[in-house]
Structure 1
Amino acid sequence: MSDRPATRLARWQSLLPFLIGAAMLDYFAWWVVEKSDHPINIWIGVLALVSVAGAAWCSVYPFVTDAETGAKLEELDKLQSAAHQIQNLEKVANQVTIATSQWQNVQEHNTKAIESAKQVSEEMTQEAIRFADFMKKASDSEKATLRLEVDKLKRTEADWLQVVVRVLDHVYALNRAGKHTGQQNLIEQLAHFQNACRDATRRIGLVAFAPAAGDTFEPGQHQTADGRKDVPDDAKIFETVATGYTFQGQMLRPALVLLDPPKGPLPAQPAVATAPPANAPAEDGSAS
């Protein structure tokens, strides 16, 4: 709202002429009536009434115009308030437009970010696939190399196991030959030597066993020197020709035994089993 007075009544200077005019008209009506002859005629009465009416009009006119001015001022204030609100609405509309534009920009940036994230994700997926293929090829190559090394180690183990068995067979044959000489000192020395060799091989899991004379024949652990198949259940061992062997708890070769006294030359010592259990390497060869 403006700083001007709310109505004209606030400016008394503007009321003064009307008040003076009303007083003069009232005075004029009084003077006319007072100076005229009585009874007064109709024209004098009309003139006095006109003067009084004019005075009344001068007295009322400022208030009427003041009321009209106040109404107009109130309407003007309302129009100004409406205009101010319209300006505020325009500002809000501009702010909404700016916010909408910014939101669109944010939406575009988000869309670009999502697309970039999708591209990065696809690239990472492709890279993971390539890495998995590389690792698979490397693993296959490494497995093949390890498998080759394991095969080499198994062959090497089979070779040294065959050599050790041959040595133990020769030691057992030498011990048997010493027993046939009847020399007690030689027999004891050969027995100590054989025990020392067996103790050394026992540390790597190779155990030699030789059934004593008179023990019961067991098909799983013993084998006849003459190749007999119809061995009775109560058959007794007469002599052990070649020792049997177990490697890491699994049967490697059964002991070669005689059930009856020999009637001719003894056969050669049997070869070590060529198909030992899964945890024992294969062996080929025979002891002399």
Structure 2
Amino acid sequence: MTGPLGSSSQETAKIRVNPRSTGIISSTTYEKHTKHSSLKPEAQELARCQKLGIHTEHVFPVRLIDFNEQENRLTTERISGNELFLTLWNPTYFFGRLRGHKLSGVETILDRVTEVGRWLRKYHESSANSLPEGSDGGWMEAAFHRKIEDIRKSRLIPEAKLARIEYKFGTELIKLKQPDFLSSNGAFPCRIHGDFLVYNILIDSQKNLHVLDFGDTRISGNLEDVSRFYSSLWAIAQTNGTRRKLLGDLPQRFLKAYGVSPEIADTPYFRCNLVYNFLTHLEGQNYMRDLLSWNSNREMSQITRAGMKWVYQQI
């Protein structure tokens, strides 16, 4: 879970720190620096998106301004706006409404979220025919088992339940080694965003959406991105009656806009991705617990509980 590159309430030259990187926000730019990993792949991917014009009418990747490889410093355009997550979340619970949050232009916002599906399809197809021979979705199998071990070490899930999750979905992900596994599950290899969550999109005053944080870009199965966004929308919609009524059909609308049937959510590979995503949210909340406010932890817990309830129903 990462924060936005900028918002209307942020001051010039403000410094933002998260566990992976430090960001400096000016009136027009956002500079990201980290010692943990090279930002070159992210810079290259943003440059590729700009060169190919990968955008739709209202959905754009954030614009790359500069990359200093020696300093490992990435500069992008600052977007004056709000997190899409907060735009959907704050007006749809009691205390948010008491604080004056309103969801104005709701149908337009829902249409924009649906349009994300069209943008994501365009983004995936832009690289699908130019990959190294033998590219596949194998990243997920190793990542799943690393996630299980990290959760085991942190004791976030009782061992009996964790073992059942590992066996059921690990057994399925072994099949990624089969040449036709992705295609038989309605998927294909391409370059993916890698952390395609509602948290990583900003909405500006014109209700245009801006996709952020390509730091985990990699070659893998396209449904990793699709399921990641779907799972974040779905879990948010499960947290109260207002959100269920307002956002309940949004995950399906997103899938249709991407060009797949909502029934794909019931296929084995997609379900494995959903499990991985919900486990990631659980681990991420635990990792960020001391960095989040009491209220933010409470809110994230609602989303985590919705996802883990679904996971436990599968075993």
Q: TM-score normalized by structure 2?
A: 0.18
The structure richer in strand per residue is 2
- Determine which structure has more spread, i.e. the larger CA radius of gyration: 1
The structure richer in helix per residue is 1
Larger RCO (CA within 8 A; separation ≥ 6): 2
